[in-house]
Chains A and B, each alone.
Chain A
Amino acid sequence: MTTPSSRSDRLRALDGAASAILALTAPVFAHLRHMTEAARTMRLAEATATGLLPASDLALLERVSVEAIKGAELITGAGMAAISAQHPDAGVMNWWILRGSDVTSKRHILNPHSDSYYDFSHSRWFQVPTDRGAPTLIAPYVDSWGTDDLTITAAIPLSVDSFGITTILAADLDARAYVRAVEEILRPAAPAALVDSENRAVASTIPEMETGVRLSTVQSWTVDHRVELVELGWSLALMAT
């Protein structure tokens, strides 16, 4: 058994936790950058106008997406979505998921008249990185009409081109595995929490501070000290009663 740590030990542990947490998703973003490079060569104006990626581009996207899914342990699905200002109702999305040990393509329902319509251009994993113009990690959320499960999405936007096309390369992460890994990392700094850009807990060592909760609603705890994770727009918080 360990004795309770002093505040200075915990502060040091928090700095260590910051680098360990960034290291969790570093391979994910490396794969996404690779996918971004591939996407730059694609005929996206044609794809967003027709709703179909040209065959050779599709083959390339499939190759880099499958590499990402097989290459990074946390990734459960990956792909690309794009929409142009001229055709806001069309858009193109191609996605691959891990099913058992195989990777298969997954098509979303892009017909707005279907009850199962997957409205990707309004989904957070598409909008937040578009608005930020930077690599983004979306804190756990339920992806209705997509995975229909709790998901974390890492995404990189391609800079908007002259055709007004917005393109996002993204990967879904295993939310349960990510939260479990973060809880483990936070333990030496406990009580501590990983907090997203909206001040909601992503993971914490405190039982009553569950994943997703707004810190403002958990009134028995306050933030004693924060370390910013600039790359993610998130922060690590040392908590106190």
Chain B
Amino acid sequence: MSTPPDRGLDLLSTLTRRVLFAPLADPGRAETVAERLRTAISLGILAENEQLPPEADLAAQFNISPVTLREALNELRSAGLVTTRRGRGGGTVVSGPLPDQENASVEQVSALSSVDLRDLADWRRTIATESARLAARRASERDIALLERGVGNAEMSLSAVQARRADSRFFIELAAASQSARLSRAAIRLQVDYAPILTLVYTDKVTRRGAAAILRTLTTAVREGQVEHAGRAAAQAVDLVAARAAMLHAQGWETS
């Protein structure tokens, strides 16, 4: 007895991926598909050397024609993001060198208006605050150990990308500690939308350190079961990042 190989399902095995690979609502355009794949690769959600599902499966997943998908893959291929081998055991593979995450992030956020940024920050604050409050009531010792490890990673991060990864994982683990499956799913979806903003905000070392210090306070409040305190610290962490993002937006995302 053997189950069939399911490379297509593999790709969608985590929610982050299901968000990025959600079927396109409108008749799919190659540029939109290429953009989604580029985001997945530049965020490291599709890792280097990872094989994409067979073209037919991927086209079906996006709800586009195989011709449109091939067009999108051609675009990525000429950008050097994927390579395709023909024949048995062949397929499309994510190839290096990966794009510079800061440049990719600027491209992704430059279309955002200040109203979009405010809206994202409001939603992020809502999820983070309620996650923190519920986590203070419900977190297990294991949840708290994971949060403490996450804070350690945030404190030790030496680059914008490391800091973004530590921050994203911290807030997803915080949502998990709330034990709410819906909050967790919302936190994971938000990670995808907010990742480029976080990357740019965390190019600044002072902001990285400031945010990590707040996450430390937040973790302590969760451990001690201080519901209000945890909620306030979460809002503070979100607002620190949002304020920096608003400033960068006003400066045309010049991070240097």
- Say whether A associates with B: yes
Contact call A148/B15, Cβ cutoff below 8 A? yes
Q: Which residues of B contact A142 (CB under 8 A)?
A: 175-181, 184
B67 at the interface (CB under 8 A from A): no
Cα of A28 to Cα of B159 in the assembled complex, Å: 45
Give how many A residues have a beta carbon under 8 Å from the other chain's beta carbons. 43
The CB with the most chain B CB atoms within 10 A, among A103, A144, A146, A198, is that of A144
Contact among B137, B142, B179 with A150 in the assembled complex (CB-CB below 8 Å): B179
Cα of A153 to Cα of B185 in the assembled complex, Å: 19
Contact call A148/B14, Cβ cutoff below 8 A? yes
Give how many B residues have a beta carbon under 8 Å from the other chain's beta carbons. 46
Contact call A140/B6, Cβ cutoff below 8 A? no
B residues 38-74 with Cβ under 8 Å of A?
43-48, 50
Distance to closest chain A CB from B5 (angstroms): 8
Cα of A53 to Cα of B141 in the assembled complex, Å: 32
Contact call A115/B195, Cβ cutoff below 8 A? yes
Q: Which residues of B contact A200 (CB under 8 A)?
A: 138, 140
Contact among B9, B44, B48, B140 with A198 in the assembled complex (CB-CB below 8 Å): B140
Contact call A124/B140, Cβ cutoff below 8 A? yes
A-B contact count (CB 8 A): 107
Q: Which residues of A contact B176 (CB under 8 A)?
A: 141-144
Majority SS at the chain B contact face: helix
Contact call A103/B181, Cβ cutoff below 8 A? no
Q: Which of A19-27, A59-67, A233-241 contacts B (4 or more CB under 8 A)?
A: A59-67
Contact call B142/A116, Cβ cutoff below 8 A? no
Contact among B14, B44, B138, B181 with A145 in the assembled complex (CB-CB below 8 Å): B14
Q: Which residues of B contact A146 (CB under 8 A)?
A: 14
Contact call B1/A115, Cβ cutoff below 8 A? no
Q: Given A63-B1, A142-B175, A211-B179, is A114 in contact with B184 using a C-beta cutoff of 8 Å?
A: no
Contact call A107/B15, Cβ cutoff below 8 A? no
Contact call B3/A113, Cβ cutoff below 8 A? no
Cα of A141 to Cα of B181 in the assembled complex, Å: 9
Which A-B residue pairs are the 10 nearest by beta carbons? A142-B176, A212-B179, A124-B142, A212-B138, A148-B15, A114-B47, A111-B47, A116-B14, A107-B10, A142-B184
> Besides A109-B14, A113-B48, 17 other CB < 8 A contacts?
A66-B1, A104-B3, A104-B9, A106-B10, A107-B13, A111-B50, A114-B47, A115-B165, A118-B14, A124-B142, A127-B142, A141-B142, A144-B173, A144-B175, A150-B181, A212-B138, A214-B138
